[in-house]
A = this chain, B = another copy of it.
């Protein structure tokens, strides 16, 4: 497959403590899939420099691009930007244009803490965005974004037109309410074997007291996806169960 690949690194004490529910992964994942970029790994690490630096260097080498979220605000626990500089072995220094834009927008409220948000690894390109004067930045194949979902989304949207593209990774799904995976597993294996270019996943879910299964076909070959879902639909119906095609439903696996 020639699709570009990606990883997400969440600088995330507040995720690891359970205080905050991450919602950034799903947003980025859906947008990358639409663009034909395969998200191949997500990591959450604590706000500890050597952990961040190690993960950045491992992930930027392994994938076409790396997105980070979190840790780029003005407070003492915002250490992502300095860690990216350390990971690349470049100085962490004031970005003149960004400091100027902050002073234009914020005037006297620009203090030492806020200037941390204008301090970047040398060579970084700011990610100007609609949600915040303080930008994210890109350095090489690493895109450094805020953790607050609304700001992260604005930064991602600013980046999006410049990201590489692959064939869009499409999904088709069918849901069987009241069907058990174990009763269709053998038939599913046969369908997967007949359509080797697609990924056929089986995801049980429970809604109220009723179990069901979502069968999800993913890949770039839409004709194969649709043919596989027709067969999966017939498989569910062969168990005397109603099959509902449509948007993939959230559920867990």
Question: Does A22 belong to the interface (CB within 8 Å)?
Answer: yes
Majority SS of interface residues in chain A? Answer: mixed
Q: CB within 8 A of A44: which of B14, B42, B112, B205?
A: B42
Range of interface residues on A (Cβ < 8 Å): 35 or more
Which chain B residues border A171 with CB–CB below 8 Å? 17, 19
> What is the total number of copies of this protein in its complex?
2
Complex Cα distance, B184 from A48, in Å, reads: 22
Cβ-defined contact, A22 with B19, below 8 A? no
Cβ-defined contact, A183 with B109, below 8 A? yes
Provide the A44-77 mask, 1 if CB < 8 A to any CB of B, else 0: 1111000000000000000000000011011111
Tell whether A253 pairs with B189 under 8 Å between CB atoms, given A15-B42, A40-B46, A201-B77. Answer: no
Cβ-defined contact, A21 with B26, below 8 A? yes
Q: CB within 8 A of A20: which of B16, B43, B250?
A: B250
Closest B residue to A190 by CB, please name it. B76
Complex Cα distance, B33 from A26, in Å, reads: 25
Tell whether A185 pairs with B33 under 8 Å between CB atoms, given A22-B25, A41-B45, A252-B149. Answer: no
A233 to chain B, nearest CB (A): 16
The 6 tightest CB contacts between A and B, nearest first, are A113-B185, A18-B29, A18-B30, A147-B253, A42-B44, A75-B202
